[in-house]
């Protein structure tokens, strides 16, 4: 399975480099390849970094927004 490199938040909300499998898009989703992305110092304080929409705890979030990417299909 193809792998990708990413930065993810640890349970203590520190960033660490990781290698993850490239996700398979589900119905209604698309896959993009990100070349570069921006982050902010406050991103680790955002509720969506540590929780899912249903309120359950989330860990190992991959931060980033305003990405430079291409559509993969």
Task: Please tell me the predicted confidence (pLDDT) of residue 30.
Answer: 92
Task: Please tell me the predicted confidence (pLDDT) of residue 73.
Answer: 64
Task: Please tell me the predicted confidence (pLDDT) of residue 62.
Answer: 87
Task: Please tell me the predicted confidence (pLDDT) of residue 20.
Answer: 93
- Whether the predicted model's global pTM rises above the 0.75 cut: no
Distance CA 30, CA 32 (A): 7
- Cβ partners under 8 Å of residue 10, min gap 6: 16, 60
Question: Could you report the average pLDDT of every consecutive run of 10 residues in the chain (73 residues)?
Answer: 90 91 92 87 86 90 85 78
């Amino acid at each position: 399975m193809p792998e990708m490199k990413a930065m993810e938040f640890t349970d203590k909300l520190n960033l660490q480099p990781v290698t993850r499998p490239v996700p398979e898009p589900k119905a209604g989703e698309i896959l993009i390849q990100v070349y570069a992305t921006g982050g902010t110092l406050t991103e680790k304080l955002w509720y969506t970094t540590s929780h899912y929409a249903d309120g359950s705890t989330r860990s190992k979030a991959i931060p980033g927004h305003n990405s430079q990417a291409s559509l993969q299909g």
